[in-house]
Homo-oligomer: A and B are copies of this chain.
Amino acid sequence: MLRFAKQEFPMSEMNEIDTPAVLIDIDRVKENVSRFQSHCDQHKINVRPHIKTHKLPKFATLQLELGAVGITCQKIGEAEVMAEAGIGDILISYNILGEAKLRRLVELAKKCRLSVVADNQTVVEGLSKAFSSKSQPLDVLVECDTGAGRCGTQSVDETVELALSINNSPGLTFAGLMTYPPMGRQAEVEHWLRAAIEGLAAAGLSCTTVSCGGTPNMWNAQGVPSATEHRAGTYIYNDNSLIAQGTCTAENCALTVLATIVSRPTETRAVIDAGSKVLTSDQLGLEGFGLIPIAPEAKITGLSEEHGIIDLSACDWRPKVGDRVEIIPNHACVVSNMVDQVNLVSNGLLVSRERVAARGCVT
């Protein structure tokens, strides 16, 4: 954690940060990472953080230093950035398809301990073709749809069939199960995974890893006892959606958007210079587009790309043009992807600016 020692950086005043800007409170980052690591240590669950939330090699390294067994990426581009920065164990929790991506995957596997997932035979065939001539087989987990309705095998039979196919494919090793679970339905997820594990055992296959995930349900990660590891992403920063779900409080939120009041057209309307190009349109079931901690009753009612409209009618806060305000976004992960750099802060002071190295890795 010495990498964040304040003496390493020139201390600067916050008002040198032009707006809109993304601020990351590094003390809260460390608290958030440590707290979840302790929770998982207590329940003997490995932590494999999803780096989509921060996209920063520095924070991935911190997560490993604090006890994570490896990281999760969704895209090869993200994994390339992380491997380049020295991260040694990466799961790409995504069906990898197509010659361009498979070529990159082969190169990536030379740089780190790599594992991927598959939920269909086409993906398995592509992976096998790419890795069959390699000395080191590729670990492949079967992605299971335990109720979230995204990707994943739909039944035990399908899971066993795909696992056997992986196991019989040159260049591949069946390494276990992976699921992105429905939130708050741990018993259901456990039931699904337990049945799959038993089915696999009956077919002679064991699961080295059973990977579950999600931040909203992280404090009950132990509610899926079959899981050997938990992939959480947002937990490092937290956000307004997690406050709403009771997973954290505003005081646990490490990422905020610093904005300036650029217009006060009416008594109850303020306009900020943070629109969807920073806060994004993600609402995650919430009303409005973020929380203003100093005036929680103020409502960010609308965003255009460069403007945020705040309705002040339910609060006493009456900011002036030029005032600055911090906003906790609804969804922290997507905000990281909107900016080329973030500002690391501590105790209200700018510690450093950090390039979001894995931003915009769409492939």
Residues on A close to B: CB < 8 A? 16, 18-21, 52, 74-75, 94-95, 97-98, 100-101, 119-120, 122-123, 145, 149-154, 260, 262-266, 269, 271, 273, 276-278, 280-283, 304-307, 309, 320-322, 333-334, 337-340, 360, 362-363
Contact = CB atoms under 8 A, between A and B. Distances in A.
Given A21-B363, A122-B321, 17 more contacts: A18-B101, A21-B362, A94-B273, A94-B306, A97-B321, A97-B322, A119-B265, A122-B322, A123-B321, A150-B263, A151-B262, A151-B265, A151-B307, A152-B263, A276-B334, A277-B337, A278-B362
A333 B309 CA distance: 19
A241 to B, nearest CB: 13
Interface centre among A152, A154, A266, A280 (most CB of B within 10 A): A280
A280 B281 contact: yes
Nearest to A50: B305
Contacts of A320: 122
A150 B307 contact: yes
A43 B281 CA distance: 36
Contacts of A281: 280-283, 334
A255 to B, nearest CB: 15
Given A150-B309, A307-B150, A339-B362, A98 B260 contact: yes
B363 A340 contact: no
A282 B265 CA distance: 25
Contact of A362 (B20, B265, B360): B20
9 contacts: A97-B260, A98-B322, A119-B263, A120-B264, A151-B265, A151-B307, A277-B337, A280-B280, A281-B283
A98 B263 contact: no
A339 B360 contact: yes
A302 B281 CA distance: 14
* Among all A-B residue pairs, the 4 with the closest Cβ atoms: A122-B321, A151-B263, A281-B281, A18-B100
Given A97-B260, A305-B74, A306-B75, A362 B334 contact: no
A322 B120 CA distance: 11
Contact of A149 (B52, B269, B278): B269
Given A94-B306, A98-B322, A280-B280, A19 B122 contact: no
A29 to B, nearest CB: 20
A145 B52 CA distance: 39
A338 B120 CA distance: 29
Contacts of A307: 150-151
Nearest to A271: B151
Contact of A305 (B19, B262, B276, B334): B334
Contacts of A277: 334, 337, 362
A206 to B, nearest CB: 25
A154 B338 contact: no
B363 A20 contact: yes
A277 to B, nearest CB: 6
Given A151-B271, A263-B120, A305 B52 contact: yes
